[in-house]
Structure 1
């Protein structure tokens, strides 16, 4: 295995981990789906009275 093959394998593994593989700690959702849910929610302002 050369450098480029290893690099491609690592990139594919990271993509699988973040985009396809559900995680038990995330209620069987992918990190990508959690990120997209949080990104679409507006931030709330706390402590301004």
Structure 2
């Protein structure tokens, strides 16, 4: 019985880690994009935008 539980955990751990990494990296990129967009829109003295 313990072998079945351990094998189930061994199969589930990489899947959970992969999902966690994808969620973390997607939120990291999204927050960086939003920060960059706010920085671009908040500057009014950039010659390229005049």
Q: TM-score, normalised by structure 1?
A: 0.43
Q: TM-score, normalised by structure 2?
A: 0.42
Of Structure 1 and Structure 2, which has the larger fraction of its residues in helix?
Answer: 2
Q: Which has the larger radius of gyration?
A: 2
Larger relative contact order, structure 1 or 2 (CA cutoff 8 Å, min sep 6): 1
